[in-house]
Structure 1
Amino acid sequence: MIGIENYLGFIIAGIIMNLTPGADTIYIITRSIAQGKKAGIYSVLGISCGAIIHVILAGLGLSVILANSILAFNIIKWIGAVYLIYLGVKMLLDKSKLFADKQTEFEKLNFWKIFRQGFWTNLLNPKVAIFFLSLLPQFIKPEYVDSSIPFIILGLTFLTTGTIWCLFLAYSASFMTNTLRNNDRIGKIMKKVSGFVFVGLGLQLLLKRN
């Protein structure tokens, strides 16, 4: 493949990274269990669109600025951390039921809002940009380092495997909704746990050294 070496090795490495839990995983599972399969799918689409931006930036070389500029990295890191903390605090303070009582209530959900939150959760995570810049060059032939094509091909490959895995998570988690819908206590516990996880991820992002 153009400018790429050990493509199979990259796919394996990408799948391993996809299986590693993170903010995206927590967001998808929470949405899918609480609000059903359709909400989970919209959260996956939002996260995937955020990842597309990272792929384009890596391909164009603009992400190098983020990797080499402490100021740029910190600005994005702080914005992303604050957003994660905001989502977490919102979950902790929200008094509404986590699980919808009826399937028809899923139709009233603001799917654009779910998509948008997923998009920003991924886009404002500087670790994603750094991941692309640190992993992708290892699978690109030296004579092609100045070309954007290999970066984009590898980035889209990672995006494809990641989207497939996230859709699997969304479908699997949504099946739990019918079982948990009548247990409001479990819903409250899950909402609190998810809120603390998001706040913890945000604080970790803020406190972690560059």
Structure 2
Amino acid sequence: MFGIHDFWLFLASGVLLNIAPGPDTAYVAARSVQLGWRGGVAAAFGISTGCLTHVFAAAVGLSALLMASATAFTAVKWIGAAYLCYVGLTMLLSRTLPADETASREHATVALARVFWQGALTNALNPKVALFFLAFLPQFVDAYAPHKGLAFLALGLMFISSGTVWCLTVAIVAARAAGRVRGSGRAIEFVNRGLGALFVYLGARIALAHAK
């Protein structure tokens, strides 16, 4: 179909890549500890949304253009790095969540939207994610296939679907295991600091990335 070959190898490789420990899994787990399963679910769907932008870009050839253009790659790289460092520093300098129940609910409502967009933009503005899809997906598409764009889209959607299922599982498991942790202001502050450090680290990695 669409020139896709070695489908089962792709499926197995995609599952293994998705369940391998990484920044996305860490982000979902940390948000689940901080905000409960809703926070983890928001993070998971945000990450998937960010990845979707690269899949659609690969399908229409925009990612290839990004890879070929040093100027475009550098621009996206620095925008993504600046955003991640900003988010990270904001979290490192943030205070513990308010203890008042009403204030906490209002904070959580705002935080869920923020969690979603942080996850989405973290992936959407990361050129290394675009390069990953460009390097991985073509391995399972016939070079002479008449509908390469549709093949990229189909493979990308399957890869993201398995990743979303994994992240949702992580969100639920982490939230259930961390019920007591969320009641501790110090624990929440520790999670905020950890997430902030993670974002700054990712921003630095993206800033140092280069197209090969």
TM-score, normalised via structure 1 length: 0.89
Identity of aligned residues (%): 39
Where 1:141 maps in the other structure, the secondary structure is coil
Distance, in Å, in 2 between the alignment partners of 1:38 and 1:157 is 24
- Aligned positions of 1:62-81 closer than 5 A: 62-81=62-81
Distance, in Å, in 1 between the alignment partners of 2:10 and 2:148 is 18
Give structure 1 stretches of 5+ with no counterpart. none
Residue in structure 1 matched with residue 109 of structure 2 by the alignment = 109
TM-score, normalised via structure 2 length: 0.88
Q: Deviations over 1:14-54 (max 9, x none)?
A: 12221234433232222211011112112211221221111
Q: Does 1:198 align with 2:209?
A: no
Residue in structure 2 matched with residue 136 of structure 1 by the alignment = 137
Distance, in Å, in 1 between the alignment partners of 2:115 and 2:71 is 30
Residue in structure 1 matched with residue 86 of structure 2 by the alignment = 86
Instruction: Give the conservation status (yes or no) of the 8 Å contact 1:47–1:119.
Output: yes
Where 1:8 maps in the other structure, the secondary structure is helix
Instruction: Give the conservation status (yes or no) of the 8 Å contact 1:55–1:152.
Output: yes
More deviation, 13-22/37-46: 13-22
Letter in 1 for 2:66: L
Letter in 1 for 2:34: A
CA RMSD of aligned residues (A): 2.3
Q: Does 1:165 align with 2:179?
A: no
Aligned residues: 209
Q: Does 1:120 align with 2:83?
A: no
Distance, in Å, in 2 between the alignment partners of 1:104 and 1:145 is 56
Distance, in Å, in 1 between the alignment partners of 2:147 and 2:92 is 47
Q: Deviations over 1:100-148 (max 9, x none)?
A: 7869945752233222222111111111111111011110112117631
Give structure 2 stretches of 5+ with no counterpart. none
Classify 1:148/1:2 alpha carbon distance in 2 versus 1 (closer, same or farther; 3 Å). Answer: same
Q: Deviations over 1:151-206 (max 9, x none)?
A: 11101110111111111111112113312123333332222222112111111221
